[in-house]
Structure 1
Amino acid sequence: MTWHVSDDLREGYLGGGLDPALAMSVETHLARCAACRAAVPYEPEWLEESWRRLEARLVAPRPGPAERLLARCGVPAHLARLLMATPTLSRAWLAAVGAALAFAVLAARVDPAFVPAFLVAAPVLPPAGIALAYGPRVDPAYELLAATPLAGARLLLTRAAAVLSTAVVLAGAASPLLPAPPWLCAAWLLPSLAVTLACLALSRLVRVPLAALAVTGLWLAVAGAAGFAGDWVSAFAPAAQIGYAAAAAVLLLRLRAARTRGETDTG
């Protein structure tokens, strides 16, 4: 040994005043130096536990701003970490969605004839995000998470809620910029909720990407039929909104009943 634990260093170590890196250095020395161990209370079991605590403190990933914000809003730490690991909520996906919405708004401001394009596209964002957030082909941690209590329907619903909330916030921020009446700018909200719940309900029967593709096709067919009839506003009129709300309520009840029975999706 070329050095030994000094009196000041030993007092700081025993008093818990050393920073983690210096404390680990002292403990490494204690493990090899019998002379210093004689002057310091040394228990192998305690040392191993201390190493584990220090390693967890030094190696554990630090939460990002979004994860800290979720924690401050009351979201449990493990759930906040899971949501931030959702593939769909990556910066690339958020940037792509933001760019698509911005392009739709700009096109509508240049020519109001493009307002329907925004209203039709907004409800498609959540199921597309869900398809990219869940499943073995898109989530690198899918097999690892499959062995946890959050696996199955609970994980799908958690990530779906995160994707839906994010898509609604982005589309909601863009809606006031549309050259259209306020009621029409918000007319995509109920269709978006109904389409998302339909995707989740159908995912109990088929894989999530197929469910998202099916409900997206159905929604585009509904909106397209109104457009071909020359009255695209009818797809967002009050009568249609009542239908979307009723469909969303029925689908939500079915999902709650399925979860109560312990059914899981086919992921």
Structure 2
Amino acid sequence: MSTQHPEVLALELYTAGDPGLDDAEVWSIEAHLETCEQCRQQQTGILARVDPSGADLLARVADGLDLQIAAGPPPAPAPARFAVRQRWAAWSLAPWTGMALGVLAAAWLLSRVSPGETSMVLLLAPVLPLLPVAGSWSRYADPAWELLAGSPRVGLWMLLRRTLAVLLVIIPALLLVSFMIGLAPALWLLPCLGLTLSTLALSEKLGVTNAAVGIWALWTVGVLLPSFWSADVPPVLSSSATPVWGALCLIAAAVVAIRARGYARL
């Protein structure tokens, strides 16, 4: 939620119901008005100039609601843990995260069975987070998708929070398995972050699930399948590719920041 006050002109257009405001700006103003008394009073003054009769009606409705609220029982606050869970994760992410951890366990077993070949943990680590990320914002995977899609706080920040929640589960598991098989985390950590950020960058145009599935498919064709024919570490996962992955992370993060408003329409 933004703490920056909307511009006076934007607030005037919103109060007048001007169709020129895009959905993202309307939702941003609505979310801000929920918590900013100063802007609500400013909006009341704007309404008094634009439509005096509407301002009078609004004042009478507000007075009536104040009396009813004062006469009724105090509202019961929602548990903080519920708000945190809804913003940072969803129950629909559990199967996807479990699937990613299951794939990681299978890759670890294969590394133990065939220790001389290129580790499957290394090959799969960069794309493992994409499984739960694909389910972090999907109308098919999240039962509350329509409710969240219509809320004013939906958009990039919710997607980033849920992606971070995924990484906080997957990356420690990858670190543990890497330590168990003697694999250097530096080889897969930047590719993992690079592909995750690339998924978020493409999500604004393609959708989260389509972007994640597309990158997984490209990785399978370009890296996984060729690795079955060669015992060498793929060039994209060698130490010499680290600057390229670092640049990809920066570019993808910049695209996400520049296109932040578009994520309200995922």
Calculate the aligned-residue CA RMSD, in Å. 2.8
Tell me, yes or no, if the aligned pair for 1:123 and 1:195 is still in contact at 8 Å. Answer: yes
Q: How far does residue 226 in structure 1 lie from its aligned partner after superposition?
A: 5.5
Question: Structure 1 86/187 Cα, relative in aligned 2: closer, same or farther at 3 Å?
Answer: farther
How many residues are paired up? 199
Q: Which amino acid aligns with 1:194?
A: G
Task: Report the counterpart of residue 104 of structure 2 in structure 1.
Answer: 101
Which whole-Å CA distance do the structure 1 matches of 2:176 and 2:231 have between them?
Answer: 28
Question: Structure 1 120/154 Cα, relative in aligned 2: closer, same or farther at 3 Å?
Answer: same
TM-score, scaled relative to structure 2: 0.64
Q: Which of the numbers 56, 59, 83 marks the counterpart of 2:88?
A: 83
CA radius of gyration, larger in: 1
Tell me, yes or no, if the aligned pair for 2:190 and 2:246 is still in contact at 8 Å. Answer: yes
Task: Report the counterpart of residue 264 of structure 1 in structure 2.
Answer: 263
Q: How far does residue 93 in structure 1 lie from its aligned partner after superposition?
A: 4.1
Q: Which amino acid aligns with 2:263?
A: T
Task: Report the counterpart of residue 29 of structure 1 in structure 2.
Answer: none
Q: Which of the numbers 129, 141, 146 marks the counterpart of 1:143?
A: 146
Which whole-Å CA distance do the structure 1 matches of 2:145 and 2:171 have between them?
Answer: 25
Which whole-Å CA distance do the structure 2 matches of 1:173 and 1:248 have between them?
Answer: 23
Q: How far does residue 196 in structure 1 lie from its aligned partner after superposition?
A: 0.7
Which whole-Å CA distance do the structure 1 matches of 2:203 and 2:135 have between them?
Answer: 13
Q: How far does residue 177 in structure 1 lie from its aligned partner after superposition?
A: 0.9
Q: Which amino acid aligns with 2:144?
A: A
Task: Report the counterpart of residue 212 of structure 1 in structure 2.
Answer: 212
Task: Report the counterpart of residue 32 of structure 1 in structure 2.
Answer: none
Task: Report the counterpart of residue 5 of structure 1 in structure 2.
Answer: none
Q: Which amino acid aligns with 2:190?
A: L
Q: How far does residue 266 in structure 1 lie from its aligned partner after superposition?
A: 4.9
Task: Report the counterpart of residue 171 of structure 1 in structure 2.
Answer: 174
What do the CA deviations read for 1:135-185 (whole angstroms, capped 9, x no partner)? Answer: 21111111111222321233222212221222112212221111x4x43x4
Q: Which amino acid aligns with 1:87?
A: S
Q: Which amino acid aligns with 2:214?
A: A
Question: Structure 1 226/99 Cα, relative in aligned 2: closer, same or farther at 3 Å?
Answer: closer
Q: Which runs of 5+ in 2 are unaligned?
A: 1-67
> Superposed, which structure 2 residues align to 1:111-130 within 5 Å?
111-113=114-116, 115-130=118-133
Question: Structure 1 119/263 Cα, relative in aligned 2: closer, same or farther at 3 Å?
Answer: same
What do the CA deviations read for 1:71-115 (whole angstroms, capped 9, x no partner)? Answer: xxxxxx734442242521x2x444433333223222212321465
Question: Structure 1 102/229 Cα, relative in aligned 2: closer, same or farther at 3 Å?
Answer: closer
Q: Which amino acid aligns with 2:246?
A: A
Question: Structure 1 98/128 Cα, relative in aligned 2: closer, same or farther at 3 Å?
Answer: closer
Task: Report the counterpart of residue 8 of structure 1 in structure 2.
Answer: none
Question: Structure 1 116/266 Cα, relative in aligned 2: closer, same or farther at 3 Å?
Answer: farther
Tell me, yes or no, if the aligned pair for 2:88 and 2:158 is still in contact at 8 Å. Answer: no
| Identity across matched positions, percent | 27
Q: Secondary structure at the match of 1:203?
A: helix
Question: Structure 1 212/266 Cα, relative in aligned 2: closer, same or farther at 3 Å?
Answer: farther
Tell me, yes or no, if the aligned pair for 1:195 and 1:216 is still in contact at 8 Å. Answer: no
Q: Which amino acid aligns with 2:237?
A: F
Task: Report the counterpart of residue 248 of structure 1 in structure 2.
Answer: 249
Q: Which amino acid aligns with 1:218?
A: L
TM-score, scaled relative to structure 1: 0.64
